Amino acid sequence: MEYIANHPIYYHWWPMFTILLGTGCRIGEALGLRWQDLDFENRVISINHSLVYYPANGSNKCVLRVSLPKTDAGIRTIPMLDIVKDAFEMLYEEQKENGFNETEIDGMSGFIFCNRFGSVPNPQTVNHTIKRIANNYNADEVVRAKKEHRDPIILPNFSCHHLRHTFCTRLCENETNLKVIQSIMGHKNIETTLDIYAEATEKKKQESFENLAAKLDIF
């Protein structure tokens, strides 16, 4: 995230990726957020719809449409972390100066995220941007590593879904109440939550034993 924040080209993506990584929202849920979905006073984000991107009727051109949750699990509130609040406020101040997003999709307006054309970006664009940023970072890292006489630490390919999974993993490492995790993530089935929780706790267990072995003097 530091690389993005300080990059002369990609810095304006920092708020979006901070919000994705700090909320665990699905990309369609994040892109569908409107200013009225935010409660800064109580520090909560309301998730009640998402945006989907698919071909328009009788056309090869894809358009964004509003999609309502198919289950109650999809309608939820997410606590607003400090860094996420900062990201939203940064976007608000930018739009207050440059103009708010006037895009209307299926009767909804007031969308938070806006591209340079004044419309809501689509999920494909966001994932392509992640790929470009990762490729640029890796190229820069190879140069840095060569100068520092070390092996480069290369980022793997990842997408918006990986940001959601990362958030869920960190949440599982710090929260033991599975119903709370399920509610925040909007998982329809508790089994999905259990699978990620089991994976996260297994990794944490390995780390704990590695730390323990380093501290014990009996071996």
pLDDT digits (tens, 9 = 90+) for 115-160: 888 889 999 999 999 999 999 999 999 999 999 999 999 999 989 9
pTM of the model: 0.86
**Active-site entry in 128, 161, 203, 205:** 161
Tokens matching residue 96: 């207050």
**Active-site entry in 10, 49, 76, 197:** 197
Is 150 marked active-site?
Answer: no
**Active-site entry in 70, 149, 170, 203:** 70
Looking at per-residue pLDDT, the higher value among 45 and 176 belongs to 45
Is 215 marked active-site?
Answer: no
